[in-house]
Amino acid sequence: MTYKVNKTEEEWREELGLKYSVLREAGTDRPWSGALLDEKRAGTYRCGACSAELFKSDTKFDSGSGWPSFYEAINPDAVELREDRSLGMVRTEVVCATCGSHLGHLFDDAHQTPTGDRFCLNSTSLEFDEEN
């Protein structure tokens, strides 16, 4: 797939530093460890690699999973969904549609939300901009 933001893996590695393993190699933050898990301010969540807008704070909810969770992307074209068959199971991987970086996974078990979806994301994959 061709993305609006294209860099070599060497360029990504140099630019992202410690975030590289999550964003570019589909790593995962430890549960309950992410800096954005308890973020409650109004604002916008962006891709930690390319800063594309991904989620609004009013779609964030406490899923009890240990990772920041959202029930809807800022728009349907902000994220790309891929089948993930790693770890001996079938899941839906969520990647940034602008740069292809790994964000987390999508689950359909959030019955308490308007969509029923739970975008379960890594804090490492996100940046947060507070509304002014």
Q: Are 105 and 95 in contact (CB under 8 A)?
A: no
Residues marked as catalytic: 120
CA distance 61 to 118: 9
* Cβ-based neighbour number of residue 91 at 10 Å: 16
Which residues make beta-bridge pairs with 28?
none
User: Among residues 74, 119, 79, which one has the least CA distance to residue 98?
Assistant: 79
Which tokens hold the place of 112?
């308490």
User: Among residues 73, 58, 56, which one has the least CA distance to residue 118?
Assistant: 73
